[in-house]
Amino acid sequence: MHRLLFLAVAILIAACRSSNDRGLTVAHRTMIVAHRGASHDAPENTIPAFLLALEQGSDAIEGDFFLTADNEIVCIHDHRTGRVADTDLVVEESTLEELRQLDVGSWKGAQWAGTGIPALSEVFALAPPGVRIFLDIKSGPQILPRLYEEIENSGLDDDQVVLIAFNAEVVRQFKENRPQHKAYWLSGLSLDDDGNVTPSPDAAIETLERIGADGFSSHHGLITKEYIEQVLGAGFEYHVWTVNDPERAWELAGYGAMSITTDVPLPVREYFEKKRLRQ
């Protein structure tokens, strides 16, 4: 019953957002993506976290996905389960049934006891019209054949399914086989010995061109307006993670970031709404 109520609210929010977005500036159209669901308030990468993110009006939900030993796809961030469960299993060496037995909610609080690891099909089933699912693929290209099957069976619109991955080859193969879906290359940013950001904008653009990605998604820490503008100027989208400071999120939206991934989608959304009302 609670799940149906949350979905009904999410559908209403999505419809209102669609009508209100017409005519907005680029900054105003920036999507708010719930990082592993509303992961500040609920156990990450679980059905409760995703439902809460939808209830809070997120434009998209983001989750992490591995291929299991029996060729299923499950939603969990780490390659082992020990951080979020009492039993430490290697995800890719375990079956879906073995992983389903684990409690991945109790670490977050007693109210989440008994929460399990969801399959990708269960996450797909949550998405109301207009809400996107960002799939952060943690396995290598071997996951892709099964992923294509799951997408086909989901019934979701093409623009609702977005692939993101640090593995550039995963992005390349996905775009080659599913060009109708968006796919973004993920990378952290760091400083080299000379104090220059790496990858440089030129290096990032070169990778995006080589793998056929639609855009670049990076951590926000070292990002500047000039970096974003250079990537946008080359014809690619720019996306940013994981931004929990609403003021910083608004700043990056103003630079041209097309989505902000955050653990706290509700405070970020409320801050954005207040800023929009003042403009």
Looking at residue 200, its pLDDT comes to: 97
Question: How sure is the predictor about 140, in pLDDT bands with cuts at 50, 70 and 90?
Answer: very high
pLDDT of residue 53: 98
Average pLDDT over residues 231-245: 98
- The pLDDT confidence band at residue 223, using thresholds 50, 70 and 90, is very high
- Give the Cβ contact number of residue 161 at 10 Å: 22
Computed over every residue of the chain, the mean pLDDT equals: 92
**Cα–Cα distance, 236 to 130 (Å, whole number):** 22
Pick the closest to residue 50 from 109, 128, 111, 114 (CA basis). 128
pLDDT above 90 covers what percent of the chain? 88
2 belongs to a structural domain: no
Query: In this structure, what are the phi and psi dihedrals at residue 33, rounded to the nearest 5 degrees?
Result: -110, 125
- Tell me, yes or no, whether 119 lies in a domain: yes
User: Domain of 36: which CATH number?
Assistant: 3.20.20.190
Interatomic CA distance for residues 264 and 248, integer angstroms: 13
72 within a domain of the structure (yes/no): yes
Q: Give me the pLDDT at residue 277, please.
A: 87
Does residue 140 lie within any of the structural domains?
A: yes
Answer whether 257's CB lies under 8 Å from 238's CB: yes
Residue 196 corresponds to which tokens in the numbers above?
Answer: 């220059």
Q: Which of 21-25, 96-100, 259-263 has the lowest mean pLDDT?
A: 21-25
- Please indicate, yes or no, if residue 21 is contained in any of the structural domains: no
Residue 10: is its pLDDT beyond 80? Answer: no
Q: How far apart are CA 244 and CA 253, in angstroms?
A: 13
Residue 145 phi, psi (nearest 5): -55, -45
User: Of 45, 98, 46, nearest to 70 (Cα)?
Assistant: 98
The mean pLDDT value for 72-90 works out to 98
> Of how many residues is the chain composed?
279
Residue 4 lies in a domain: no
Which pLDDT belongs to residue 279?
73
Q: Which domain holds residue 263?
A: 26-277
pLDDT for res 72: 98
Query: What was the pLDDT predicted at 278?
Result: 82
CB 259 within 8 A of CB 26: no
Please state the rounded mean pLDDT for residues 124-134. 96
Whether 94 is in a domain gets the answer yes
- pTM tops 0.75: yes
Measured at the CA of 69, the angle between CA 63 and CA 75, to 5 degrees, comes to 10
The total number of structural domains in the chain stands at: 1
Q: Is residue 216 part of a domain?
A: yes
For residue 19, is pLDDT > 80?
no
Percentage with pLDDT > 70 across the chain:
90
Higher pLDDT, 121 or 12: 121
Q: What is the pLDDT, as a whole number, of residue 28?
A: 56
- For residue 22, pLDDT beyond 90: no
Provide the pLDDT for residue 29. 81
Three-class DSSP category at 126: coil
Predicted confidence at residue 24, as pLDDT, reads 39
Residue 264 has pLDDT above 50, yes or no: yes
